[in-house]
Each structure stands twice: as structure tokens, then as C-alpha cells.
Chain A
């Protein structure tokens, strides 16, 4: 897959006491230069989550877009509901052939000892994650030419 490093594929890594050992499929250097791992455990979770929920099966056909979301996102924010700043949300528009239109997607990365992809799902257009009663989420990247307001419509 373009842009991925598979030299550690199959290697089992310990990242936290809180989660099982992770088996690497590939790693990607994100737009900010951070190494992010995509693991067999995450792939299984995402496939199972999307394939069995109503209206979401098509997402399975787009898991190969994950490296592109990491390397060329539209906007990256810190999850406003994680006070430890260990949950990072990457957003990018992806053209969905089945629907003949672009949809916004969220890629969730959790920071443990390493950065691990944790979920991937369609996001409501113009409505990235905010949390009522809390400060607006911290934007850590916005692609040149894009406007913050495009993603924070209320």
C-alpha cells in the first residue's frame, strides 16, 4: 500500500498494560512526522464495527485510505473529551464510489507507548467532534487553503 512501511509487519509489540499486545500490519509517518501503527487488532475491530452496523458496510472497502488520511489529512484535532490529550482525531474527505459523493471520515489514533490507529468511521459533514460545556477542541493541523469553519458548522 502506497506510503506504508511494512518492514515490521508481523512484529508483536507491547504498548500499554490497558490493551492486548498488538501485531503490526504497517506503519505510516503522518503529516506531522509521527510514526503511527496500524495493527491486526485495530483492523479486526474496525472491520467488525463497520460491517455489522446498519448503513456502514461500505466503509470496509475504504480501509486502504487510512494511510492517506494520516499523511494528508484536512484537519487534526485533540479529542475534547480526553483530558490527557492522548486521543488524536484526523479528518479527511474521501470519495465514496457507492454513494457517488465525498464523505468526511474520522481516523482515531491513541497514544500509548506508540501511536496506534484505533477506529475509522464516517463523520457528519461539517461537524467534527466538539463537547458541550468544554472549550473548543485544540486544532493541531489545518491543511493550507482550508477553513476551520468548514469543519465546525453548528
Chain B
């Protein structure tokens, strides 16, 4: 089942996104490295599901993260309700964020 996510981005590269809280008291692992470079993951302590993600330098590390994910895909799917997008892979989520936050910010700077 795909989970709804919320995205927080602060230029120049602080990306912080994850599954929207639903009132459940979920125990998580805390963010930690999972072999995806700059992208650290906070997981459900019981199920291991990837619930939230943080990258400190996403404007520079997007391509490296995607390369690592292509070699080691994860099984979870996510929805971006704010964009009406459903059942996305993590690569698709990250690409949407890169286009709509990082590249948008660069476009504004050029303008």
C-alpha cells in the first residue's frame, strides 16, 4: 500500500520528507545511513518500513542517491497528495522533488 507523504525543503539543499502522521504511536529507529549516500532513513522499528527521509545536500547529491537506488531499489511506494501523484517509487518521488524544489529555486535565482 502506498503511503501519503509530506515534503519539507529548505534551500540550498535541506530535504526532509516522510509519511504523514496518522495519530498512531509508532516507534521509529531514528534516521540512519542505509547505503543511499546523503539520504538517511527513519524506519518503523517493528516492520522496517521506510517512513521518513533526510538529505542535507540534496541539491548536489540527487544524482548519486538515484544511482544508488537504481542498484538497490526499495519495495515501498508513496503518494504525493499535494501534487495528486500516487503509487510512486522512491526514485520517482526524489525526481519530482528535485524538479519542483531544487530546479525551481535555481530558476528563480536566474530570473
Which A residues fall within an 8 A CB radius of B? Answer: 16-19, 41-42, 45, 48-49, 51-57, 79, 81-83, 87, 103-104, 106, 108, 110, 118-119, 121-125, 127, 129-133
Give B59's nearest chain A residue, CB to CB. Answer: A18
Task: Give the CA-CA distance A56 to B27 in the complex, in Å.
Answer: 9
- A57 near B35 with CB under 8 A, answer no
**B32 at the A interface (CB under 8 A):** yes
- The complex places the Cα of A131 from the Cα of B18 at a distance, in Å, of 21
Known: A55-B27, A123-B31. 20 other contacts (CB 8 A): A18-B109, A19-B12, A45-B8, A53-B52, A54-B20, A54-B52, A79-B56, A81-B37, A81-B55, A81-B57, A81-B60, A119-B10, A119-B14, A119-B56, A122-B31, A123-B32, A124-B29, A124-B30, A124-B32, A130-B33
Provide the residues of chain B in CB contact with A124, threshold 8 Å: 29-32, 42
Work out how many contacts link A and B, with CB atoms closer than 8 A: 114
Total contacting residues, chain B, CB less than 8 A:
38
B21 touches A19 (CB 8 A): no
| A108-B56 in contact (CB<8A) | yes
| B97 located at the interface, meaning its Cβ lies under 8 Å from any Cβ of chain A in the complex | no
Q: How far is the CB of A107 from chain B (nearest CB, A)?
A: 12
A19 pairs with B10, CB closer than 8 A? yes
- Listed from nearest, the 4 A-B pairs whose CB atoms lie closest are A124-B32, A81-B38, A55-B26, A122-B30
Q: Collect the chain B residues with CB atoms within 8 Å of residue A118's CB.
A: 10, 14, 56
